[in-house]
């Protein structure tokens, strides 16, 4: 009898699959899962000496880290990959860089700047005929327009400067709805039901904002059919929240609360903290409107707890920042081997020295986290130890100088030092094992 031999998975197929999973996790608001999948893709593409694959994996890493608050490093890496793409006239990679930059800029609450980045990325993507990317860019544009509606037009409505259904307030929503139609045209041939489900969920909220409840209900029902049989718990939680909103508009308070409760439980079950925060926030508002202040307060506390857990998740990712820096250097090395030398002269890094530096920084970050410093506090402390001024730190982290000073005072109290010099000494003070290695070097 012949025993069938199980063939190993094709490394390239595994790399492409992990990259796709990373992008899917980013779309669903799971940056932690996206980081893991991107790191697997990066390892496979680097083993294959595939410079383009490594670049796309690093971009996915950058977006995931940017979504979790590590903004300066993420944007720096995107710029680095873009420089390589421009030097080698790689239009497709330039388009992905623009899209990645726009998504990270949204985390900075820079709506207008993000829209400009999306427009530039769309122009490049149209040249490549990449329907998946074109649809993703149009989707983000529609989502940003809806966010702008809530940020600006609702304020004007509250001030009685226009009616809820007036032209100044609905123009952005009508534009968002038109963009959704363009997304549908791009994505309908991809055979990816979850993408179309996301699109219909966005349409549900846009149409509810427009006051078109019946059309919103039909979009929600289409999303439900598309998710049937799909193992997408985060999108299922989003669907429950959309259905809850429809029930709230129709005055069905009990059904609204029931659906939101299921959405919160589902989101917490898969550690989708961002979705859980929104679900508990909606529950708190629903109970408050019904006059149940005790329940509203309980869910407000749950919302705060989920937000704290979300921030804790972000803080742990600081340990990956140095690895991400090394990944960006890997793009340089592979691109030079694949495409030839860049136009700008770059000094090749010493791999041993880079690894040692990364290990030291990881030790320092872990020690700072154990001491009780926050993610932002560690970002400030690293720059203080590098000799940067308060103004430079404020500019890099998009903060005011006064906010940086407040962070410094909290840092001093937390680690038990008096001034910047003491903080810098505390940061560079390594354990005995690392000190001994440094002496030997």
- Residue range 228-278, pLDDT digits in tens: 988 889 899 999 999 999 999 998 998 999 999 999 999 888 777 788 888
Q: What is the pLDDT of residue 339?
A: 55
**Could you tell me the residue ranges of all domains in the chain?**
355-441
For 6, what's the count of Cα atoms within 13 Å in the CB-facing half-sphere?
1
Eight-state DSSP code of residue 418: S
Is 9 buried (19+), middle (13-18) or exposed (0-12) by CB count in 10 A? exposed
Total length of the chain:
441
Residue 160: the pLDDT is: 45
pLDDT band at 314 (very low <50, low <70, confident <90, very high): low
Q: List all residues 6 or more positions away from 281 whose beta carbon is below 8 Å from its beta carbon.
A: 299, 300, 303
CATH class, domain 355-441, is: mainly alpha
Check residue 436 and give its pLDDT: 43
**pLDDT over threshold 70, residue 168:** no
How many Cβ atoms are within 10 Å of 305's Cβ, its own excluded?
A: 14
> Which pLDDT score is estimated for 331?
65
Residues 6+ apart with CB under 8 A from 207: 177, 213, 215, 216, 219
pLDDT for residue 365:
77
Give yes or no for a contact between 199 and 187, defined as CB atoms under 8 angstroms apart. Answer: yes
249-253, 337-341, 384-388, 397-401 — which one is most confidently predicted on average?
249-253
* Structure tokens, 193: 């039901």
Q: To the nearest 10°, the Cα dihedral for 238, 239, 242, 247?
A: -130
- What mean pLDDT comes out for the span 146-161? 63
Q: What pLDDT digit, counting tens, does each position of 111-142 carry?
A: 788 888 899 999 999 998 899 999 999 999 99
**Which ranges of 159-292 would DSSP assign to H, the alpha helix?**
167-187, 193-209, 213-227, 233-249, 253-269, 273-289
**pLDDT band at residue 158, thresholds of 50, 70 and 90?**
very low
> In this predicted model, what pLDDT tens digit does every residue of 181-220 receive, in sequence order?
999 999 988 888 988 999 999 999 999 999 999 999 999 9
- Name the token pair of 297: 């307060």
Question: What is the pLDDT, as a whole number, of residue 182?
Answer: 95
Residue-level pLDDT at 380 = 87
The CA distance from 59 to 53, in Å, is 10
pTM over 0.75: no
What pLDDT is stored for residue 186 in this prediction?
A: 92
pLDDT score of 345: 39
Reply yes or no on whether the pLDDT at 359 is more than 70: no
Gap between the Cα atoms of 131 and 135, Å rounded: 6
The percentage of residues in the chain with a pLDDT greater than 90, rounded to a whole number, is 24
Question: What CA–CA distances, in Å, run from 184 to 112, 176, 197, 209?
Answer: 24, 12, 10, 20
State the helix-helix crossing angle for 390-397 and 375-385, rounded to 10 degrees: 140
Q: Is the pLDDT of residue 4 over 50?
A: no
C-alpha of 343 from chain center: 32
CB-neighbour burial class of residue 116 (10 A; exposed 0-12, middle 13-18, buried 19+): middle
pLDDT score, position 268:
85
- Overall average pLDDT of the 312-318 stretch: 54
User: Looking at per-residue confidence, does 257 or 365 come out higher?
Assistant: 257
- Please tell me the predicted confidence (pLDDT) of residue 202: 95
Tell me the pLDDT of the chain averaged across its residues. 79
Tell the residue number behind the tokens 């690894």, with chain if given.
355
Is the model's pLDDT at 7 over the cut of 70? no
DSSP assignment, residue 7?
Answer: P
As a whole number of angstroms, the distance between CA 185 and CA 348 comes to 45
Task: Report d(CA 210, CA 215) in Å as an integer.
Answer: 10
pLDDT at 164 over 50: no
Long-range contacts of 224-230 (CB under 8 A, 24+ apart): 226/193, 226/194, 226/196, 226/197, 226/200, 227/193, 227/194, 227/197, 230/193, 230/194, 230/197
Q: 220, 197 in Cβ contact below 8 A?
A: no
The percent of residues above 70 in pLDDT, for the chain, comes to 78
pLDDT at 163: 46
């Amino acid at each position: 009898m012949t025993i069938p031999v199980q063939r190993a998975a094709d490394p390239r197929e595994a790399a492409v699959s992990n990259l796709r999973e990373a992008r899917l996790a980013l779309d669903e608001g799971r940056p932690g899962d996206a980081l893991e999948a991107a790191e697997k893709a990066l390892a496979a593409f680097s083993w294959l000496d595939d410079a383009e694959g490594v670049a796309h994996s690093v971009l996915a890493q950058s977006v995931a880290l940017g979504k979790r608050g590590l903004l300066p490093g993420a944007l720096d890496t995107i710029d680095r990959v873009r420089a390589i793409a421009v030097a080698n006239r790689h239009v497709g990679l330039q388009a992905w860089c623009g899209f990645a930059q726009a998504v990270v800029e949204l985390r900075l609450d820079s709506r207008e700047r993000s829209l400009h980045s999306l427009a530039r990325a769309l122009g490049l993507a149209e040249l490549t005929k990449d329907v998946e990317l074109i649809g993703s860019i149009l989707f983000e544009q529609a989502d940003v327009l809806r966010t702008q509606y809530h940020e600006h037009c609702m304020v004007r409505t509250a001030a009685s400067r226009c009616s809820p259904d007036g032209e100044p307030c609905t123009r952005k929503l009508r534009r968002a709805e038109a963009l959704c139609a363009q997304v549908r045209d791009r994505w309908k041939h991809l055979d990816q039901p979850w993408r179309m489900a996301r699109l219909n969920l966005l349409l549900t909220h846009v149409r509810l904002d427009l006051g078109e409840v019946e059309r919103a209900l039909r979009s929600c029902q289409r999303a439900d059919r598309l998710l049937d049989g799909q193992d997408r718990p985060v999108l299922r939680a989003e669907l429950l929240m959309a259905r809850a909103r429809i029930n709230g508009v129709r005055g069905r308070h009990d059904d609204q609360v029931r659906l939101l409760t299921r959405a919160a439980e589902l989101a917490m079950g898969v550690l989708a903290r961002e979705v859980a925060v929104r679900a508990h926030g909606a529950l708190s508002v629903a109970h408050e409107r019904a006059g149940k202040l005790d329940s509203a307060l309980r869910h407000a506390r749950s919302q705060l707890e989920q937000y704290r857990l979300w921030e804790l998740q972000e803080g742990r990712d600081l340990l990956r920042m140095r690895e991400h820096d090394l990944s960006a250097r890997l793009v340089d090395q592979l691109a030079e081997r694949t495409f030839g030398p860049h136009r700008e002269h770059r000094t090749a890094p010493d791999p041993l020295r880079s690894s040692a530096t990364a290990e030291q920084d990881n030790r320092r970050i872990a020690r700072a986290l154990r001491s009780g410093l926050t993610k932002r506090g560690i970002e400030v402390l690293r720059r203080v130890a590098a000799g940067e001024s308060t103004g430079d730190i404020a500019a890099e982290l998009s903060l005011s100088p006064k906010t940086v000073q407040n962070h410094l005072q909290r840092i001093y109290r937390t680690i038990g030092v008096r001034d910047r010099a003491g903080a810098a000494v505390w940061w560079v003070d390594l354990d005995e094992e690392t000190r001994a290695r440094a002496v030997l070097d």
